[in-house]
Structure 1
Amino acid sequence: MKREASSPRPNFEAEAKKIGFDYAYADGEPYWEESARYVFSLAEIEDRLEAATAELNALCLSLVENVVEHDHLMRRLRIPECAFDVIRASWRRRDPSLYGRFDFVYDGKSEPKLLEFNADTPTNLYESSVVQWLWLQSQIARGELPQDADQFNSLHEKLVARIGEIAPSRLLHLCCMSKNAEDAGTTAYLAECAREAGLVTKLLDMSGIGLKHNEFIDPDWRKIEFLFKLYPWEWMFADSFGKSSAVGRTRLVEPPWRMILSNKGALALLWDMAPGHKNLLPCYFEDDPQVERLGAKYARKPIYSREGADIELVDGVCIARGETEGYGREGYVRQAFCPLPVFDGRRPVLGCWLVGDAPAGLGIREDKALITSNRARFTPHAIIG
């Protein structure tokens, strides 16, 4: 694994506009970075990153199997009791998952270590799937990369196939908070994948979902039977309509059982289940006496949080703090502090994608700060040799 300079395309802005990559720049700053690239060997991808993704996914499914049978574990994860039966029923039906993303710290030398699992509402999907693949093809065509350069990226074809597999009806509704450009872009991309799979799609803002006779309906009063929601389960169960029986009557993606894996408490339960696992970091609930094993150096993470918000890195004293967004009311975990490696002043987080249960790709975000925030840049990668 190495980071090296890369020649940007002179027409990138026009290309971004052409393919609908509307958030290539955020708040006037570039989000997409192609003056650099990360390069991996095939063995690093297959034997380290892809293998870790598959193994941890299997471990996560075993964890869900255990948690759904024990109310005290649901409560440990601060899941509201109104969600218990919905989650159990969803798991026992084996409601299918579409996708997820494991975020790893990896330096090319040691085993990748899991920082968190984005099991419910992961973004940076379109750039991982389409945008960096087109970049790779352009770099090869321009002679910037060898003809046999490749990428850990089968996301698009796997997403299309998976949506077709799990569709219970021909119409798929997709919803998000559409004022967020990245959320809207991710949702629009998945709608495109669904259309390729032969489905009819309807895009909605979250505010466009209604409730009638305990059924979700769209603004045209059509019943919603199959819904992709880029909206966290903990928010949904806090909403009044999230407590409706309509939740159990609608095929939702991601399904309710993913709520078990989408909070940081799952990191503590995974460590308890598989202590010493080569791809896990020691992690404990903050009120667990075993937390003292971490000493004075750890990452303090709210059970529910996103984009690095309200995370603290502690080395005797707090040395870094994410943006304050008000997370943490449900409690915290402490995870062993494993600093991100530094490449040319940048600290990359490697996001390894799953589609269904299959490893499907890699997206890299890098930041100068110790905590990766929503201002991190996406940097493409290539496999050479």
Structure 2
Amino acid sequence: YEGTLTLVGDEPHVPYDRPPLSKQLLASEWDVDRLALRTPADLAGLDLDWRPGTAATGLDLTEREVRLADGSTVPYDGLVVATGVRPRRLPRTDAHVLRTLEDALTLRDRLAPGRRLVVVGAGFLGAEAAAVAWRLGARVTLLEPAPVPLAHAVGTEVGAALARAHRDHGVDLRTGVTVTEVTEGGVRLAGGGTVEADEVLVAVGSVPNTEWLADSGLDVRDGVVCDAYCEAAPNVYAAGDVARWYNPLFGTSMRIEHRTHAAEQGMAAARNLLARPEARKPFAPVPYFWSDQYDMKVRAYGHLRGHDEVAVVDGDLGERRFVAVYRTGDRVTGALAVGVPPKAIRQWRQAIAAGAAWHEAVRGPRGHEAVGPGHDAAGTVGRGFVGGGA
């Protein structure tokens, strides 16, 4: 594309990588300079009309222009909305969150051996931050409202296996606990009681940044709603954490908050925006994410949420070295591996991409039953093996 490229962003920094914020940067293993997604030379080569530190505040589809916080407007022939998400916060609190470079540096400066850190929320972000803080010598309490952390996403048995890692390392993990307020000296719990802390990190999910689009005419139900091509309106596309698009591989609409996905969808949206209508391609990826916690490397492919069944096909949950695969309907739709080489899960990515039938890819023991939507558990685990269909 030889026209003007305008890049608008509310942060003052050059584009940087977010996953290391809760890992390498928080642990002081990386310097800030290592986070940059592109070198200065790469950015200069794009000849950008770059607007750092300036938020978008409105969109006019008729006039084809974006309104900015400084009062100016930017006209467009094509637009990609990639405004991401922001941390969900507890009411009336100034506790730490972990989304921006400043967030990570502020929390890092407060962590030291013996300091008491309470992490509210035991999802992947909260779990990673708790693991790093423990390694730095902090006394960590991890609070989670669900009976089993991450069960809604990975299943009860797998979630319990990941939770045991925290307890095995001395983190005080408390489940079924709801925090109602962050106080000056810690947090207050529902039903009474407090947990004392020197620092509190709130990691209870995120909210898509779509408020600036409220009067635009775009459909913004839990993200910018798009079709299979990532198009939200004529010549308007969305990508990354803020985009809710129809993934034809799984036959459902999804919004994914993972770094690899954001990069892939950004490229897909740009290509479809510039392509002739008949040359556009549906964006139908097998989503991928990873997480580092203590000595565990967690890798996952596919769409795990809303699954009907999960089976461990290799390794052992108790040893935290295993591969688990997920069924939705009669298809293999996801796979998650902990503590095994990458090649142990790659074949399952191929099975997911091919829409492999569950009964051909996974042969579990007799009596292996699915747990339906009305049950408390997210799945039953059976000991299985890899079948020829994978």
Please classify the TM superposition score into its range, dividing by the shorter chain length.
0.3 to 0.5
TM-score by length of 1: 0.32
Structure of greater Rg: 2
Q: Which has the higher contact order (CA 8 A, sep 6+)?
A: 1
TM-score by length of 2: 0.32
